[in-house]
Amino acid sequence: MDTSFAPEDLAFRDEVRAFFAEAYDSELQARLNNLETFKEAVIDWQKRLYRKGWIAPGWPKEYGGTGWNATQKFIYETERSAAGIRDVIPFGLNMVGPVIYAFGNEEQKARFLPGILQSDDWWCQGYSEPGAGSDLASLKTRAVREGDEYVVTGAKIWTSYAQYADWIFCLVRTSNEGKKQNGISFLLIDMKSPGIKVNPIVSIDNHHSLNEVEFNEVRVPVANLIGEQDKGWTYAKALLAHERTAIAGVADSKRSLAETRAFAEREVNGGKSLLSDPLFQKRLSDIEIELMALEFTELRVLATVAAGGAPGAESSMLKIKGTEMQQAVQELRMEVAAYYQGVLPNDLTPEQLGHGFGSQARQTYMYGRASTIYGGSNEVQKNIIAKAVLGL
Amino acid sequence: MNFEFTEEQGMLRDSVARFVQDSYDFDTRRKIAASDEGMSRENWQTFAELGWLSVPFAESHGGFGGGPVDTLVMMEEFGKGIVLEPYLATVLLFGGLLQRGGSVEQQAELIPRIIEGSCLGAFAYLERQSRHVITDIKTTAAVQGDQLVLNGEKVVVFNGASADQLIVAARSSGEQSDEDGITLVLVPADAAGVERTAYRMMDGQVVANITFNDVRVPVSDIVGEAGEGCAVMSPVITRANVALAAEALGIMGQLNAKTLEYTKTRKQFDVPIGSFQALQHRMVDTFMAYEQVKSLLYRAVCELDGEGDDAAACVHALKVLVDRNGKKIFGEAIQLHGGMGITDELDIGHYAKRLMMINTTFGNGDYHQAKFNELRYSA
| pTM, rounded to two decimals | 0.93
Task: List, in sequence order, every residue forming a beta bridge with A173; answer none if it has no partner.
Answer: A142, A184
Considering the domain architecture, whether residues A350 and A280 belong to the same structural domain is answered as yes
Residues of A with CB under 8 A from a CB of B: 1-4, 70-71, 74, 261, 275-276, 278, 281-282, 284-285, 288-290, 292-297, 299-300, 302-303, 317, 320-321, 379, 382-383, 385-386, 389-392
Query: What is the tens place of the pLDDT at every residue in B346-375?
Result: 999 999 999 999 999 999 999 999 999 999
CA distance B171 to B178: 9
Q: Looking at the partner chain, which of A2, A294, A389 has a beta carbon nearest the beta carbon of B2? A: A2
- Which pLDDT value is given to residue A240? 74
Q: Which residues contact A211 (CB under 8 A, 6 or more apart)?
A: A157, A158, A159, A160, A161, A162, A163, A198, A199, A200, A201
The CATH number given to whatever domain includes residue A66 is 1.10.540.10
3-state secondary structure chain A: CECCCCHHHHHHHHHHHHHHHHHCCHHHHHHHCCCCCHHHHHHHHHHHHHHHCCCCCCCCHHHCCCCCCHHHHHHHHHHHHHCCCCCCCHHHHHHHHHHHHHHCCHHHHHHHHHHHHCCCCCEEEECCECCECCCHHHCCCEEEEECCEEEEEEEEECCCCHHHCCEEEEEEECCCCCCCCCCEEEEEEECCCCCEEEEEEECCCCCEEEEEEEEEEEEEEHHHEECCCCEHHHHHHHHHHHHHHHHCCHHHHHHHHHHHHHHHHHCEECCEEHHHCHHHHHHHHHHHHHHHHHHHHHHHHHHHHHCCCCCCCHHHHHHHHHHHHHHHHHHHHHHHHHHHHHCCCCCCCHHHHCCCCHHHHHHHHHHHHHHHCCCCCHHHHHHHHHHHCCCC
Q: Which domain holds residue A40?
A: 7-100
Ramachandran angles phi, psi of B376, nearest 5°: -90, -40
Q: Are residues A270 and A189 in the same domain?
A: no
Q: Does B263 touch chain A (CB under 8 A)?
A: yes
Domain boundary among A65, A100, A135: A100
Q: What is the pLDDT along chain B (379 residues), one digit of tens a residue?
A: 788 899 999 999 999 999 999 999 999 999 999 999 999 999 999 999 999 999 999 999 999 999 999 999 999 999 999 999 999 999 999 999 999 999 999 999 999 999 999 999 999 999 999 999 999 999 999 999 999 999 999 999 999 999 999 999 999 999 999 999 999 999 999 999 999 999 999 999 999 999 999 999 999 999 999 999 999 999 999 999 999 999 999 999 999 999 999 999 999 999 999 999 999 999 999 999 999 999 999 999 999 988 778 999 999 999 999 999 999 999 999 999 999 999 999 999 999 999 999 999 999 999 999 999 999 998 6
Q: What are phi and psi of B193, to 5 degrees?
A: 95, -5
CATH number at residue A280: 1.20.140.10
- The 10 Å Cβ neighbour count of residue A201 is 13
- Per the DSSP assignment, residues forming a β-bridge with B193 are none
A116 is a domain residue: no
B250: nearest Cα among B16, B61, B31: B16
Are residue A216 and residue A187 in the same domain, yes or no?
A: yes
* One domain, residues A128 and A95: no
Contacts of residue B370 in chain A, CB cutoff 8 Å?
278
Is A332 inside a domain boundary? yes
- Determine, for residues A296 and B299 on separate chains, whether the beta-carbon distance falls below 8 Å: yes
Q: What domain count does chain A have? A: 3
Q: What is the pLDDT of residues A162-188, one digit of tens each?
A: 999 999 999 999 999 989 999 999 999
Within-domain flag for A177:
yes
* CB–CB contact A296 B295 (8 Å): yes
Chain A residues with beta carbon closer than 8 angstroms to that of B263:
392
Q: Do A386 and B283 touch (CB under 8 A)?
A: yes
Do the domain assignments include residue A238? Answer: no
Of the candidates B264, B277, B296, the beta carbon closest to that of A296 is on: B296
Would you state the pLDDT for residue A237?
Answer: 84
Residue that finishes a domain, picked among A38, A66, A100: A100
Question: Do A280 and A350 reside in the same domain of the chain?
Answer: yes
Is it true that B7-119 and B231-377 share their CATH fold?
A: no
Nearest neighbour of A389 by CB, restricted to B287, B292, B372: B287
A·B CB contacts under 8 A = 124
B7-119: CATH number: 1.10.540.10
Mean pLDDT to the nearest integer, A142-146? 97
A181 and A74 within one domain? no
Contacting residues of B for A1, CB less than 8 Å apart = 2-5, 69, 298, 301-302, 305
Nearest residue of chain B to residue A390 (CA atoms): B260
3-state secondary structure of B151: strand
How many Cα atoms sit within 13 Å of B34 on the Cβ side?
6
Residues A382 and A253 in one domain: yes
B325: nearest CA partner in chain A:
A290
Q: Tell me whether residue A185 is in a domain.
A: yes
- Residue of chain B with shortest Cα separation from A320: B288
CB count in 10 Å sphere of residue A275? 22
SS3 B290: helix
- For B231-377, CATH gives 1.20.140.10
Residue B265: closest C-alpha in chain A: A392
CATH number of B122-227: 2.40.110.10
CB contact under 8 A, B377 and A285: yes
For residues A261 and A383, state if they share a domain. Answer: yes
Q: What is residue B126's three-state secondary structure?
A: coil
**Known catalytic membership, residue A243:** yes
Q: Are residues A70 and A166 in the same domain?
A: no
Q: Are residues A212 and A265 in the same domain?
A: no
Contact B280, A383 (CB under 8 A): yes
Q: Looking at the partner chain, which of A3, A386, A389 has a beta carbon nearest the beta carbon of B302?
A: A3
Q: Do both A147 and A252 map to the same domain?
A: no
Nearest CA of chain A to the CA of B2: how many Å?
Answer: 5
Residue A303 counted as domain residue = yes
* Domain presence at residue A48: yes
* Model confidence pLDDT, tens digit, residues B142-175: 999 999 999 999 999 999 999 999 999 999 999 9
Give, in degrees to the nearest 5, the angle at Cα B70 between B296 and B62: 150
Catalytic pick among A77, A79, A243, A267: A243
Q: Where are the domains of chain B?
A: 7-119, 122-227, 231-377
In a domain, A241, yes or no: no
